[in-house]
Chain A
C-alpha cells in the first residue's frame, strides 16, 4: 500500500475546528474533498473558472482582513494560475493560506500527468515569487505542522502537499453557484448581505 498521504484525510484534518475560517476549493476533487469533510456555509467550492481559485482567495482575504482564508486546490488548477503567486506575493495578505493537493495528475479528465510529476516544484515557485512561508509536505507530521501554521501563523503561506492519486467516490456540493454565494455572504456579512448594493 502506498505511503503517500490521502487527500480526504489531509483536508479533514486541516478543516477540523475551523471556526470562522473561510474555505475556497478549486474545481474537481478539491471541491469534493471539502464537501466530504462537511458541507459548510463558509465553503466556496468551485465548479469551473480553472486557474482562479487563489485569486478568489486574495480578493476575499483583502475584503475580510481579520478572518482567515484557506484555498485548497489541485496541482493542475494551480499550474493554470501560476501568475497569481506573483500577484499574491506583492499584496502580502497575512490571512491567506494556499494548500495545493498534488497528485501529479489531472484527475477529472483521465488521469493524465501534470508537470509536477516531472520536476516542477510549485512551493519553490511560490518561494521565488516572494511567499515568506512556502513548503513541501509529504508526511503526517508535516500535515500537523501545516495545520498549526494555518491556525496560529501569519500568511501568506503556500504548501504543496504530495498525495496519493486515488480515485474516490464523488461527494458533490450544491450545484447552484448563486446558492453557494448567497449562503457564504450571509455567513460572512449577515442577512443584510442580500440587501446590499
Chain B
C-alpha cells in the first residue's frame, strides 16, 4: 500500500514552524530524530541562532530544557510518540518547578501504521500525557500544525507548563521503509 501524504501545496508546515521558533527566540532544539521532523531539524541545524542538541533518550530533553529556562533560554523537544513514554517521570520536573516545556511529537502507531510495535505507545500517547497534566494539542493536517504550534508556544512560555503538539501520522504519511532506503 502506498503512503498518502496529505500536505497541501504551499509552504511546508516545517518552514512556518521554524520561523515561529525564531520569532519566539527559541534557541535550544533537543532532538531524538523522527522522519516526520526531518525537514524541521535540517532548518534548525542551518540556523546559527539555534543549537541542536542530540539526545540519547527523550527524557534528557525534559531536563535540558528545564536547565535552559533556569538560565533564561527557551527550547523545544522534538520526538516521536514512542519517546513520550521515555519522558513520563521527568515531566514531574516541569510540573513541580513550573518550567515551560514545549514538545512537538510526530505520531506513530496512528494513521496507517504498519509496525505492530509502534501501536501500543502511539495509541496511548495522548492519554498518558494528559494523565501527567500535560496540555495536548493535535494537528491532523499540515495546515493545522503551525496554528497548534503557535498556540502551544504561547501557552507554554506564558503560563509555565508542559505542552505537547501531536502531529498526526496523516500529516507526514505512514512510513514506507522501502522508500526510506532509497536516497533522497
Contact = CB atoms under 8 A, between A and B. Distances in A.
22 contacts: A44-B70, A48-B92, A49-B63, A49-B93, A58-B64, A59-B69, A59-B71, A59-B75, A60-B68, A62-B28, A62-B67, A63-B71, A64-B71, A81-B60, A84-B63, A87-B60, A91-B51, A91-B53, A185-B69, A185-B70, A185-B72, A197-B158
Contacts, number: 121
B57 to A, nearest CB: 5
Interface string B59-82: 111111111111111010000000
A60 B70 contact: yes
Contacts of A185: 69-70, 72
A46 to B, nearest CB: 8
A58 B71 CA distance: 10
Given A49-B90, A87-B55, A60 B157 contact: no
Nearest to A54: B63
B181 interface: no
A189 B73 CA distance: 11
A188 B72 contact: yes
Interface of B: 27-28, 51, 53-57, 59-73, 75, 89-90, 92-93, 96-99, 157-158
How big is the A interface, by class?
35 or more
Contacts of B56: 83-84, 86-87
Contacts of A60: 67-68, 70-71
Interface string A177-191: 110110011001100
Interface of A is mostly: helix
B48 to A, nearest CB: 14
A197 B67 contact: no
Contacts of B61: 55
Contact of B70 (A48, A81, A184): A184
Interface of A: 22, 24, 44, 46-64, 81, 83-84, 86-87, 90-91, 177-178, 180-181, 184-185, 188-189, 193, 196-197
A63 B28 contact: yes
Contacts of B89: 48-50
A40 to B, nearest CB: 14
A160 B39 CA distance: 40
Contacts of A24: 67
Given A58-B67, A87-B55, A63 B92 contact: no
A62 B59 contact: no
B72 A193 contact: yes
Nearest to A24: B67
B70 A178 contact: no
